[in-house]
Amino acid sequence: MREKIVAANWKMNKDLTEGLQLVSDLVESLKGKKIACEVIMAPPFIHLSGAAERLKETDIVLAAQNIAKEENGAFTGEVSAQMIASTGAKCVIIGHSERRAYYGENGAVLHEKLLRAISEGLRPIFCVGEQLNEREAGKHFDVVSNQLTEAFNAIGADKIAQMIIAYEPVWAIGTGKTASPEIAEEMHAHIRSFLKERYGESVAQKMPILYGGSCNGSNAVSLFSQPNIDGGLIGGASLAVEKFMPIIEAWDQVHK
């Protein structure tokens, strides 16, 4: 059976006090509960070491939202994979549509970031997804295949097998317009068959593919019930524990 995952992407939200409060709230809400999925939390960099301390002795996995493509040195404002790993973070989001759109991160840059993460033992959560106009033009499958092809480039199947993929249609992120379970499932199945073709059946079957885009406590069960949807990458609804917990608990109602 594949891993089931609910991952929080806080984006650029929460100052130091608010962030540590949210970590504590989540730890308290999960205390003593048997949950049916893994929980990953990606706060801004400033929270990583404090969160790592608070998450000790919990099963919550810490992630960063970005990494530098360079190893170290004179890159003002950047944070290296090694620095992130030293905080105790285990995963890193790479290729989020906001990074692609606002910071010009293209396939070549994302390929370098993937290599950097892998070499430092950080598990990439690699995001793909089409714009609305690309879907309307019927190009959505090609767009996602190209994003995977460019960023994965010559990375071997053994490394690809360690990743998590998140399908996040850009038109659904932060808009309140969730992809229907059928639309999301169709793309997840496409991604899985892409993986099968390039990297073989076992990589394809093992890869967790998360859905992201206005996922919330009301739509999580129907999304997670789809055969190829293995959880969610959650933005807005991860910023308050009363909104995030129902998404984690959605897995209790999914039997597959």
Q: What are phi and psi of 255, to 5 degrees?
A: -125, 105
The answer to whether residue 235 forms part of the interface with ligand PEP (CB under 6 A) is yes
Residue with Cβ nearer ligand PEP (62 or 233): 233
Stretch that binds ligand PEP, among 74-82, 99-107, 138-146, 206-214 (CB under 6 A): 206-214
Contacts of 240 (CB under 8 A, 6+ apart): 22
Per-residue x/- mask for ligand PEP, residues 54 to 83, rule CB under 6 A? ------------------------------
The answer to whether residue 41 forms part of the interface with ligand PEP (CB under 6 A) is no
CB of 76 to ligand PEP, least distance (A): 26
Contacts of 215 (CB under 8 A, 6+ apart): 178, 223, 232, 233, 234, 237, 247
The answer to whether residue 212 forms part of the interface with ligand PEP (CB under 6 A) is yes
Give the chain's end-to-end CA distance (angstroms, integer).
9
Give catalytic residue positions.
96, 168
Residue with Cβ nearer ligand PEP (101 or 108): 101
The answer to whether residue 173 forms part of the interface with ligand PEP (CB under 6 A) is yes
Cα atoms in the Cβ-side hemisphere of radius 13 Å centred on 204: 15
Contacts of 53 (CB under 8 A, 6+ apart): none
d(CA 17, CA 7) in angstroms, rounded, equals: 21
Which one among 64, 148, 163, 233 touches ligand PEP, defined by CB under 6 A?
Answer: 233
CB of 230 to ligand PEP, least distance (A): 15
Which one among 4, 5, 6, 9 touches ligand PEP, defined by CB under 6 A?
Answer: 9
d(CA 51, CA 68) in angstroms, rounded, equals: 21
Name the CA radius of gyration of the chain, rounded.
17
Q: Name the token pair of 18.
A: 């608010």
Contacts of 21 (CB under 8 A, 6+ apart): none
Q: How many CB atoms lie within 10 A of CB 23?
A: 24
CB of 74 to ligand PEP, least distance (A): 31
The answer to whether residue 40 forms part of the interface with ligand PEP (CB under 6 A) is no
Stretch that binds ligand PEP, among 32-40, 60-68, 209-217, 246-254 (CB under 6 A): 209-217
Which one among 214, 219, 226, 228 touches ligand PEP, defined by CB under 6 A?
Answer: 214
The answer to whether residue 174 forms part of the interface with ligand PEP (CB under 6 A) is yes
Site residues for ligand PEP per CB under 6 A:
9, 168, 173-174, 212-215, 233-237
